[in-house]
Amino acid sequence: MPQENSSDPTNDARASTMVQDDDATSTADATQSTTSSLRKPMRRNAEAREEQEERITQLQASVNSLDTQLKIMYRLKECCPGQASVTDDEVIASRKRKRDRVLRELKELTEAGTGRQT
């Protein structure tokens, strides 16, 4: 009569290997799942950073344009006082306010990108 409790070393080794393989597969699956779930936020962060950098570039261009417009307005006002509506103080003040708003937004974005807070 064969004994059911007898231990066969070959069967024990196979069973041990199968358990180890299952553990390794589970660990690999968990690692892949974790890595995959970490990539999504990283990808979103990278996209957000790119959008932020694009916005900063746009704001810098806007500030440069407004600076140029203000310089032209001041020169026109000096050489031709009262000749053009562009030299009107209200128009100049409006451009200055717009430039200040753009500079504030630029500063906020720049500081947010570096992790600083005001």
**In whole angstroms, what is the distance from residue 100 CA to residue 66 CA?**
10
pLDDT in the model for residue 40: 72
pLDDT in the model for residue 43: 77
pLDDT in the model for residue 33: 64
pLDDT in the model for residue 95: 92
pLDDT in the model for residue 42: 74
pLDDT in the model for residue 30: 63
**In whole angstroms, what is the distance from residue 47 CA to residue 44 CA?**
5
pTM score over 0.75: no
Q: Which residues of the chain have pLDDT under 50?
A: 117-118
**In whole angstroms, what is the distance from residue 109 CA to residue 101 CA?**
12
pLDDT in the model for residue 117: 45
pLDDT in the model for residue 16: 58
pLDDT in the model for residue 102: 95
CB 56 within 8 A of CB 109: yes
pLDDT in the model for residue 48: 83
pLDDT in the model for residue 90: 85
